[in-house]
Amino acid sequence: MDPRIEPRYRVGLLTLSDAGAAGQRDDRSGDALSARLEAEPGQPFVIAVRAILPDEVDAIAAQLAAWSDDLGLDLVVTTGGTGLGPRDVTPEATRRILASEVPGMAEAMRAAGLLRTPMAMLSRAVVGIRGRTLIANLPGSAKGALESLEALLPALPHALAVLRDSGADHPQHGQVR
């Protein structure tokens, strides 16, 4: 790859919301994340696909696996379902399909959030790898989602480049069966 040309990473945005999936609520966090990623200097991110699903573990896990395995996305960002409520199941669904977690990225999001609100410590968000795809859970509010994304952005291009370039050289990043 020509080092003068910024790579373009294909991104999937998955919003998890019972009300959003039923058409009862606008996808403000998905819209905010899409706009922010596409505005990143050098435009390294392109939104390849977006969806809204209800808070159902099996459906979420299946969508994450399909976007990783079938579409080969570089990055999947989820928004919603990371709190303490009984329907907040995004971390469980994500862990079900991950080959490995990247705890430092989840910790960075919580640390950045704690600078603004003590409620950030209630986030159960996870970040991890499936194949060559990085999957990151962000909060469901537009503000919280953007703050979490901002915490990840400094390291995202490097992380995605490593995953894209490593492939078979790193079997621990292989797909979970």
32 to 27, 36, 60: CA distances (angstroms): 9, 6, 21
pLDDT band at 38 (very low <50, low <70, confident <90, very high): very high
Closest CA to 139 of 78, 96, 66: 78
> Could you report the per-residue pLDDT of 134-174, keeping only the tens digit for each?
999 999 999 999 999 999 999 999 999 999 997 544 444 44
131 has pLDDT over 60 = yes
77 has pLDDT over 90 = yes
Sequence-ordered strand ranges (E) for 56-109: 75-79, 100-101
Query: Which region among 20-24, 51-55, 99-103, 105-109 has the lowest average model confidence (pLDDT)?
Result: 20-24
| Domain spans in the chain, listed from the N-terminal domain onward | 9-165
pTM of the model: 0.90
Average pLDDT, the chain: 91
Mean pLDDT of 63-87: 97
Let me know: does 136 contact 78? Beta carbons within 8 Å: yes
Residue 9's pLDDT is 97
Write the CATH number of the domain with boundaries 9-165. Answer: 3.40.980.10
113 has pLDDT over 80 = yes
